Amino acid sequence: MARISGVDLPKKKRIEYGLTYVYGIGLHASRLILDATGIDYNKRVYELSEDDVAAITKEIRANHVVEGDLRKQVAMDIKALMDLGSYRGLRHRRGLPCRGQKTKTNARTRKGKRKTVGAA
């Protein structure tokens, strides 16, 4: 089992899809990494040699922000919006959707369980 950036990749998946299990790497970034290292997309994770894993890890460290660093960066960006008092920051602070969705009937994921008011 290959371990890249602190994530165990699933053994039987193709490497181009296995890399997407790392937070911050999507399919496009995965393909860019594999092109840079010269590894075939169709190779399975269990078929990777130690040199292949080392090359992928080196490429990710050099050119991509992933896992903990990316989570920290996203959290700091949201905190900056809230500190500025921007509209998006206020929506984050109140736990409401930030991207223009309607909230009269939907948005239960962000708003949480329904709070009934005035039911007798």
107 inside domain: yes
Q: How many domains does the chain have?
A: 2
17 and 54 both lie in a single domain? yes
Burial readout 108-117 (b: 16 or more C-beta within 10 A, e: otherwise): eeeeeeeeee
Q: Does residue 95 form part of some domain?
A: yes
pLDDT at 76: 97
Question: 61 and 13 in one domain?
Answer: yes
User: What is the residue-level pLDDT of the chain in tens, covering all 120 positions?
Assistant: 689 989 999 999 999 999 999 999 999 999 999 999 999 999 999 999 999 999 999 999 999 999 999 999 999 999 999 999 999 999 999 999 999 999 999 999 999 999 888 876
Structural domain for 50, as ranges: 3-65
In a domain, 117, yes or no: no
pLDDT at 120: 66
CATH code at 20? 1.10.8.50
